[in-house]
Structures are given as C-alpha cells and as structure tokens.
Amino acid sequence: MQSDLYSRIDFYLNHLRVERQLAKNSVEAYSHDLRSFAEYAEKRKIGEVAEIGEDLALSFLASLAEGGIGTRSITRYLVVLRGFFSFMTREKIISTDPTAQIEFPGRWKKLPKFLSIEQVDLMLRQPDVKTTLGVRDHAILELFYASGLRISEMSGLTTDRINLQQGYCMPFGKGSKERVVPMGGEAIAAIALYLEEGRGKLARGMVVDELFLSRRGGRISRQRLWEIIKFYARKAGIKINVTPHMLRHSFATHLIERGADLRVVQMMLGHVDIATTQIYTHLSRRHLQELYKKFHPRA
C-alpha cells in the first residue's frame, strides 16, 4: 500500500500532466526528484506529508551535496520540492510550506563534511582498551561524538564539569558561556572506565583538574587531541582527512537526520543567539536528556 506521501506526489504529478500540461519529460523529471525525496523520508520513518518539516528538507538537500550532487542540480531539487509543497498548501493538505524559508544553494555556506554512522562506529572501535592510553583515547572519541564539543572545550573540560550519574557535561564555550550537553550510555561507560583504570595512572599522584591527561600527567593539548583523531581515523581505514570539527559536524548531522529539532541541536553545539537562548531557558535538563536518548545513535 502506498504511503500518504507517494499518493500526494501522484496527485501532484497528475496536476502537472493534466492541468498544467507539462511535457512528458518534464513530468518524469519532477517524478524522479520527488520520489528521491520520498525514499529519503521513508528511510526516516516519515510517510505523511504533514509530518515533513524544514529540518527534513534541509537534511535531504545536504545529503545530496555530500553525495557530490552539484549546486545547479540541488537548486533544481529545491525548485521541485517548493512546487510540490506550494501545491499541497494551496490544496489545504498542509498549512505551511516547509521549504519556503530555505535559501537556494548559491547562497549557502560550504556544507561541513561529516562521517557516516558506520564510519564513526568503526573509528570508535579502534582504541585498545587493554592499555592506559587506549582507555583514555576511547573515552575521548566517545565524548567527542556523544557531545559535539569543540576541541578547546574538550581540552579544557575538568572533572567537576561532568556528571556521569545524570549523564551530562557542562563545557564552557565561546565567550565563557556555559551549556549543558547530554551524554549517551556509550560515552558514560567509556569515561567511567577511564576514571577507574586510566586517569590515575596518567596523573601519577599529581592533582590536575582537567579530565583528559597527557602521557606526562598534565592537561592534554589541542594538538594531541587532533593527532588522536587522525590516528584512529587512519587505523579505521577512513580515507578522508578527519578532524575534531568533523566529529562535531557528525554529531549534529546524525541527530538532525534522526529527527532532532535544529534549534535543540544548535543549543547543544553552543551556537547561542537570542532565539536559541530563549528556547534554552525553557528546556529542562531532563527534557534535554530525553531528546538526546531519543535521537542520538549511541545513547
């Protein structure tokens, strides 16, 4: 049985064919683009037109760019989607067009690169947790992906800024702004193991506030964090140049692809503007935790 979305697409294509009398080739081109979008939505368990929001449309267009589709072709996809949703609005099937506020690709900033979930999983399995440094490195990788922290935030994160029982960390971001970021079960377990079996050996009796320590027992540097990520990416056989910021982009992209609201993800990343701050004040830590567990693939 066809989903609601596919039925609406057929309805729209018939409108193009009969009422607008578009050429056969044009209708086939519209059909191809709309069905590509419908397949993308279906993989994300969305089959109703009314369920589609701007987040899904943006995620679809971003996936095209990531797959090497050029700007002109993405522009065509957006034009086709706008035509479809505008028609759905005029027919009062939906109340608002989810693509109305999306800018054309020519005005986009360069899309950030990110890893697939499979690539991240493979990378996170590389550290040898039978060694002290392997335990530390595994905790670092898990927290990078679980939280989307910036490299400076990871380097400066102190032990009193994490709460493993309640499952969150509190980094200081740009402008020394504090935020609360949930952590999933995988990251919590990795950090707990590091605190039990790795950190004390690295500290060697020294009192150090920072969570992640270097081989000599001091605060781990940003350069070393960068090297750790590159090392395990190569070990996992990932050919592209993986950076700490790419893990941050992967964190955000995977959340959005699984249905998380863009504004919530912005808040977790610390991209604070007035609107995001207002939303933040109305979200409790428990609500954040529930959202995180629902949408993050390793929660």
The predicted model gives 8-15 an average pLDDT of 94
In the chain, which residues fall in CATH 1.10.443.10? Answer: 117-295
- The catalytic position among 8, 136, 138, 150 is 150
204 part of the active site: no
Tell me the H-state helices in 67-184: 71-90, 117-124, 132-147, 151-156
Both tokens of 46, joined, read 């969305």
In the chain, which residues fall in CATH 1.10.150.130? Answer: 4-99
Burial class (CB within 10 angstroms; exposed 0-12, middle 13-18, buried 19+) of 72: exposed
- Which of 94, 75, 100, 95 minimizes the C-alpha distance to 11? 94
- The catalytic position among 136, 138, 179, 248 is 248
* pLDDT tens-place string over residues 62-78: 888 777 788 888 889 99
The single-letter DSSP state of residue 37 is: H
174 part of the active site: yes
Query: What CATH number was assigned to the domain covering residues 4-99?
Result: 1.10.150.130
Q: For residue 25, what are the contacts with CB-CB under 8 A and spacing of at least 6?
A: none
pLDDT of residue 287: 53
pLDDT of residue 177: 78
30 part of the active site: no
pLDDT of residue 273: 46
- The catalytic position among 174, 215, 285, 293 is 174
Helix axes 244-257, 117-124, angle to 10 degrees: 130
Helix (H) or strand (E) holding 229, with range, is: helix 222-235
- The catalytic position among 245, 258, 263, 298 is 245
Does residue 16 carry a pLDDT above 90? yes
- pTM over cut 0.75: no
Q: Identify the residue whose tokens are 């409790």.
A: 284
- Which of 183, 172, 86, 173 minimizes the C-alpha distance to 142? 183
161 part of the active site: no
pLDDT-derived band at 289 (thresholds 50, 70, 90) equals low
293 part of the active site: no
Q: Identify the residue whose tokens are 């989307």.
A: 148
Name the class of domain 117-295. Answer: mainly alpha
* pLDDT tens-place string over residues 148-185: 999 989 999 999 999 999 999 999 877 677 889 999 99
Q: Are 208 and 220 in contact (CB under 8 A)?
A: no
245 part of the active site: yes
Q: Identify the residue whose tokens are 């428990």.
A: 286
pLDDT of residue 284: 39
Q: Which has the higher per-residue pLDDT, 281 or 189? A: 189
What is the phi-psi region of residue 295: left when phi exceeds 0, alpha when psi lies from -120 to 50, beta otherwise? alpha
